[in-house]
Chain A
C-alpha cells in the first residue's frame, strides 16, 4: 500500500523567505501526488496535484512542487512566504486506479513577521 512521510512536523520561516515543505512517498505503482492546505477548523483545500506529464506542477497561492521519481519525493515550495500562508499542510498519495488516498502527518507552517 502507498504511504507518505512528511519531514518536519513544524516549519517556521520569516515573511518573504523561501518555503520548503518536504514529502516522500512510497507506492508500488505510479502515484498521484497531492498537497492540501488546512486552516484552523476547516476542511482541506487542494493546492496542487501531480498525475502525469510535467513533473513541475504549479498550484494556487504561488506554490509549486516537483515530482522526482528517483528520489520518491514531492516537495512543496514557495519563493516568498506570506503571513496568510500560515496553516497546516498535508502531502497525500493515491495509487492510480485505487480509490484510496493516504495522508502524511502534516507540517505546520508558521510565518514570522
Chain B
C-alpha cells in the first residue's frame, strides 16, 4: 500500500531559524512527489513537483529535495508569513492513480 509519512507533526521556529521538514514515502514506483502549502481554512497551494532522486527545486526561502525514500523541504531564514501547514503527496507510476497525501507538518514562525 502506498504511504506518505511527514515529520514532525508540528514545528515552531524563531524568525530566521532555518530547518527542514521530512516526507518519507513508500510507493510502488514513484511518478512524482508534490509539496503544497495550506493556510488555515484555505485550499492547498501548489509549491513544487519532484520526479527523480537528486532533483532540487527552489522558491524564495524554500528548497525541496528528493531521494529514493524521502523528500525534504528546507526553509532558510523563515519569516512569520511562512507559517502554514505543509503537505507532501506522491503519485505512483501505475495507472491513473490520484495523489496520496501525508498528514502535513504545521509550521509556526515566531517573530
A binds B: no
Residues in chain A within 8 A of chain B (CB atoms): none
Residues in chain B within 8 A of chain A (CB atoms): none
